[in-house]
Amino acid sequence: MNLRTLLFFLILVPIMIIGMSLSLLINLFDRTGNSFHRIAAWWGRFSAKLFGISIELIGSENYSTDQHYLVISNHAGMADIPLLLGTMKLNLRFVAKEELGKIPIFGWALKQAGYIMIRRGQNRDALKSLLSAAEALKNGHSIHIFPEGTRSETGELLPFKRGAFLVAQKGETPVLPVTIIGSHLITPKKSLRIHKGKIRIIVGKPIMPADFKSVEELMNTSFSIIDGNLHRYRFN
């Protein structure tokens, strides 16, 4: 634990609880969840300033704020979600573990705002909950999924799971591949320490699921783009 970890518990967590409680009230009047998103995006930008995290966004010309996408990215740190919310100019909803939806206030606010709670595993219930993300895409929301399914300790890309790309095909929505560089150094896995530093977010060009013959082909192409940008920009 260090000073930034203390700031997290003493400042950021209370702000988050207040914001989530406020969101529960706002969500009663704004069923779209858009007001919640604006609060969450502000929280993401505030978090970056509080911890001394600078963010460089590359490829902003590759997406339109007026469109909706299935956003996929690598996952290397706990800071990934707030930083994406604060940086990407999209009305994002995240796919999250079902257990998070059961947390008082926090989970309730996420579900009311349209975040997708999914069950882990390969059974029918898990697939059904995942495909609810495809329905959200058809309703015009941008959805984010971490296809690795867990955080990488080293920053190297882990194998993708096919579920995210099944959602893309069912939702008939462009896939927006995003590469995050440096977050594993900001919030290392298995550690409570939070470090300042620089994060790079690289947005690739959208990929149309209809251009691919199979879920696996779409998955492999997406992996290649994210991994290619990871190695291209890591040391530049």
Most distant pair of Cα atoms in the chain: their distance: 51
Q: What single-letter DSSP state applies at residue 102?
A: G
* Mean pLDDT, range 49-56, rounded to an integer: 95
- For the segment 179-185, the average pLDDT, to the nearest whole number, is 95
DSSP state of 210: G
- More confident call, 189 vs 82: 82
Q: Which domain holds residue 51?
A: 3-233
- According to the model, what pLDDT value does residue 122 have? 59
- What total number of domains does the chain contain? 1
Going from the C-alpha of 150 to that of each of 83, 157, 204, the distances in angstroms are 17, 11, 21
* 215-234 pLDDT per residue, tens: 999 999 999 999 999 999 98
C-alpha–C-alpha distance, residues 15 and 173, integer Å: 34
C-alpha 39/C-alpha 41 separation (Å) is 5
* Confidence label for 32 from pLDDT (cuts 50, 70 and 90): confident
Question: At 188, which CATH number?
Answer: 3.40.1130
Confidence category of residue 192, pLDDT binned at 50, 70, 90: confident
Q: What is the mean pLDDT of residues 55-78?
A: 95
pLDDT > 80? residue 17: yes
Give residues with Cβ within 8 angstroms of 235, minimum separation 6. Answer: none
Percent pLDDT > 90 in the chain is: 63
Average pLDDT, the chain: 91
Q: With 70 as the cut, is the pLDDT of residue 123 above it? A: no
